[in-house]
Amino acid sequence: MTHFSTKRWALLIGCISLSIFACKPKNTGSAVGADAAAKAYVAPGQYDQFYNFVSGGFSGQMSVYGLPSGRLLRVIPVFSVDPEKGWGYSEETKAMLNTSHGMVPWDDLHHTEMSQTNGEIDGRWVFGNANNTPRVARIDLTTFRTAEIIELPNSAGNHSSPFITENTEYVVAGTRFSVPPDDANGDVAIDTYKDNFKGTISFISVDKNDGKMDLAFQIQCPGVNFDLSHAGKGKSNGWFFFSCYNTEKASTLLEVNASQRDKDFIMAVNWKKAEEYIKAGKGRKQAVKYASNRYDEKTHTATSQIKTEVLVLDAKNFKDICYFIPCPKSPHGCDVDPTGEYIVGSGKLAALVPVFSFDKIQNAIAAKDFIGEFDGLPVIKYESALHGELQKPGLGPLHTEFDGKGNAYTSFFVSSEVVKWNIKDLKVLDRAATYYSIGHLTIPGGDSKKPDPKYLIAYNKITKDRYLPTGPELSQSAQLFDISGDKMQLILDFPTIGEPHYAQAVRADLIKDKSLKIFKIDDNQHPYVAKGEGATKVVRENGKVHVYMTTIRSHLAPDNIEGIQQGEEVYFHITNLEQDWDVPHGFAIKGANNAELLIMPGETQTLKWVADRVGIYPFYCTDFCSALHQEMSGYLRVSPK
């Protein structure tokens, strides 16, 4: 055996020739300092300092970790069904997963973004995007539950989302796949892409008080692919920046087609201007074609929105909303520093990282310093918008976070490292290897006006040799770095749920006390609530059986149910009468054709069940709740018709 295997050489050559594949960094050994364990150690009974809200990628969910321990605190079901919590199975939550395509029990959640006030994380809500069937979800951080989901018309592959403006006025979403708009004939030849496919940006308004989302308006843009975005802040508040690739508008994304241009674009959007045009009535009303096909089984408390009409601004009719800025080679991340002056574009195939200046962009627009038009929209001269280029930073730049002290931290997928650099002078200050092939990275508040730069978490695509082998697939991995000193120090590895992309982190103090929430039984508005055992009953309504049931340690009431006929649909409406924190009860019945329920104190949830066979069916509480948990059960009898 030679020292370098052929494979190893191939890898090295791949890296040198700027392969789009990742390669392992040279040092795969442990570079962990002796004090790392103490830094990540949170003693039993102690709380973590930070909550970390991590996107679950193709699991469709969001997971919550404590930092610095890396302890998994909760998985919040968002876009995928979750039998553990009855999510997508209970009558209350089924409707949450309704789309214009019907019930979609799965999606791909890439980015989490927390609500902000004055550009700082306020800890009220966290938003997530559905990357496949385009939707945005809002999670309420008093309950850690998905409160609402909205579907976006004229979109496909909702990737550039859900990034928000500095006072959470809007959650903004850019379509990754350009498609024919919903009011156009969609049955067109794919090679008519250039004429028929459009890129769309959605502005979802968020109510200041209750967070309720609505689709305020959309901007119809040329058919490029919007990859990522961030809101301006401070001086650039009122603007939004999007990375765009495939500016050749090719319908196949082979390198020869879509990446032939030396430069793609960052698109700068003056959303305050767009908002003015909307307020002045300049939006065009567009009907949403497929809205009427929706599967509509809305029940009880769920709110999932599918629009039937949307207000659209056609960018090319308003020459002062959207501007293109050339940006080298397939830009992916598009990140704005805490001052709002610097916009970092990360060309995945570029050997440098360009940094744009908001002031220069404004000057260039005022001076009409354009090199031409792209589909009728002005293109600003690269040099006129440029603050400078970070030279030879690493290979495959993806995403950048900030520490609020003038430094940026960029992830490099191909060279598998985090690079710390100074924004003003464009000097590399430090490098840390990641294991392996980092995608996103997060600093608490690292995309806000006020970062809390104690830790940096790298979310890696490949785990390889970091954990005990578990068959052909290993879970993806996060790595925690202490960034309080000049040098980054690796202190912890931990596995993640699904594939993590973007994440947010925030000091625990902002959230922990308000999430001690319990639902008050007196406030329970559920149409089928039983507020005490005296209110329990079994009734028939329109040919369906409704069981009003209660749970309290340690019995279910009623616990003997007879008179059900074979083939009947039975709705178990279970109210948990407990008023102590953290005492849920579960509910399951033999032959469960719809998973189980997990009901929080004070809450009612409904399970639909079909009595398919004659016989006796035991039911029971699934969550070990007291010494008499095993006694929390009952029987239901199904008789022939």
**Residues contributing to the site for ligand CUA (CB under 6 A):** 551, 585, 621, 623-625, 629, 632
In order of 136, 161, 243, 502, the CA distances from 334 in angstroms are: 20, 12, 6, 13
In order of 221, 234, 269, 455, the CA distances from 240 in angstroms are: 14, 12, 5, 27
**Minimum CB separation from ligand CUA for residue 537, in Å?**
21
Strand partners, 50: 67, 507
Which partner from the list ligand CUK, ligand CUA, none does 345 bind, CB cut-off 5 to 8 Å by kind?
none
- Cα–Cα distance measured from residue 212 to residue 56, given in angstroms and rounded to the nearest whole number: 23
**Minimum CB separation from ligand CUA for residue 10, in Å?**
57
Strand partners, 250: none
- Cα–Cα distance measured from residue 286 to residue 215, given in angstroms and rounded to the nearest whole number: 12
- Cα–Cα distance measured from residue 400 to residue 487, given in angstroms and rounded to the nearest whole number: 17
Which partner from the list ligand CUK, ligand CUA, none does 623 bind, CB cut-off 5 to 8 Å by kind?
ligand CUA
- Who contacts 249 (Cβ-Cβ below 8 Å, separation ≥6)? 178, 193, 194, 197, 222, 223, 224
- Cα–Cα distance measured from residue 477 to residue 473, given in angstroms and rounded to the nearest whole number: 12
Q: Nearer to ligand CUA by C-beta: 142 or 626?
A: 626
Q: Binders of ligand CUK among 93-112, rule CB under 6 A?
A: 110-111
- Cα–Cα distance measured from residue 244 to residue 580, given in angstroms and rounded to the nearest whole number: 51
State yes or no: residue 85 binds ligand CUK (CB under 6 A).
no
**Minimum CB separation from ligand CUA for residue 583, in Å?**
8
**Minimum CB separation from ligand CUK for residue 28, in Å?**
21
Which partner from the list ligand CUA, ligand CUK, none does 135 bind, CB cut-off 5 to 8 Å by kind?
none
Which partner from the list ligand CUA, ligand CUK, none does 502 bind, CB cut-off 5 to 8 Å by kind?
ligand CUK
State yes or no: residue 56 binds ligand CUK (CB under 6 A).
no
Query: How many Cβ atoms sit within 10 Å of the Cβ of residue 347?
Result: 25
Query: How many Cβ atoms sit within 10 Å of the Cβ of residue 618?
Result: 11
* Binding letters toward ligand CUK, positions 311-350, x by CB under 6 A: ---------------------x------------------
Per the CB < 8 A criterion, the answer to whether 244 and 265 are in contact is yes
Structure tokens at 456: 């940096």
Structure tokens at 173: 């979403």
Q: Among 397, 384, 461, which residue's Cα sits nearest to residue 428? A: 397
Which partner from the list ligand CUK, ligand CUA, none does 449 bind, CB cut-off 5 to 8 Å by kind?
none
| Binder among 50, 144, 502, 587 for ligand CUK (CB under 6 A) | 502
Q: Nearer to ligand CUA by C-beta: 308 or 633?
A: 633
State yes or no: residue 271 binds ligand CUK (CB under 6 A).
no
| Binder among 180, 328, 439, 453 for ligand CUK (CB under 6 A) | 439
**Minimum CB separation from ligand CUA for residue 623, in Å?**
5
User: In the 3-class helix/strand/coil scheme, how is 185-204 assigned residue by residue?
Assistant: CCCCCHHHHHHHCEEEEEEE
**Minimum CB separation from ligand CUA for residue 638, in Å?**
24
State yes or no: residue 159 binds ligand CUK (CB under 6 A).
yes
Neighbour-count burial of 392, counting CB atoms closer than 10 A to its CB (0-12 exposed, 13-18 middle, 19+ buried): exposed
Q: Nearer to ligand CUK by C-beta: 92 or 107?
A: 107
- Cα–Cα distance measured from residue 249 to residue 251, given in angstroms and rounded to the nearest whole number: 6
Q: Nearer to ligand CUK by C-beta: 49 or 161?
A: 161
Query: What number of CA atoms fall less than 13 Å from residue 318's CA on the CB side?
Result: 22
**Minimum CB separation from ligand CUA for residue 584, in Å?**
8
User: In the 3-class helix/strand/coil scheme, how is 416-485 assigned residue by residue?
Assistant: CEEEEEECCCCEEEEEEECCCCEEEEECCCCCCCCCCCCEEEEEECCCCCCCCCECECCCCEEEEEECCC
**Strands of the sheet with 62-67, listed across from one edge:** 71-76, 62-67, 50-55, 503-507
**Minimum CB separation from ligand CUK for residue 329, in Å?**
15
Which partner from the list ligand CUA, ligand CUK, none does 621 bind, CB cut-off 5 to 8 Å by kind?
ligand CUA
**Minimum CB separation from ligand CUA for residue 553, in Å?**
6
> Are β-strands 145-151 and 304-306 bridged in parallel, bridged antiparallel, or unpaired?
parallel
**Minimum CB separation from ligand CUA for residue 549, in Å?**
12
Which partner from the list ligand CUK, ligand CUA, none does 629 bind, CB cut-off 5 to 8 Å by kind?
ligand CUA
**Minimum CB separation from ligand CUA for residue 146, in Å?**
24
Which partner from the list ligand CUK, ligand CUA, none does 300 bind, CB cut-off 5 to 8 Å by kind?
none
**Minimum CB separation from ligand CUA for residue 144, in Å?**
21
Mapping DSSP to helix (H, G, I), strand (E, B) and coil, where does residue 290 land?
helix
Which partner from the list ligand CUK, ligand CUA, none does 625 bind, CB cut-off 5 to 8 Å by kind?
ligand CUA
Q: Nearer to ligand CUA by C-beta: 512 or 629?
A: 629
Helix or strand holding residue 213 (H, E): strand 213-221
With left for phi above 0 and alpha for psi between -120 and 50, is residue 331 left, alpha or beta? beta
Which partner from the list ligand CUK, ligand CUA, none does 624 bind, CB cut-off 5 to 8 Å by kind?
ligand CUA
Neighbour-count burial of 403, counting CB atoms closer than 10 A to its CB (0-12 exposed, 13-18 middle, 19+ buried): buried
Residue nearest ligand CUA, Cβ-based:
621
Q: Binders of ligand CUK among 381-400, rule CB under 6 A?
A: 398-399
Which partner from the list ligand CUK, ligand CUA, none does 165 bind, CB cut-off 5 to 8 Å by kind?
none
Q: Nearer to ligand CUK by C-beta: 217 or 502?
A: 502
Binding residues (CB under 6 A) for ligand CUK: these are 110-111, 159, 228, 332, 398-399, 439-440, 501-502
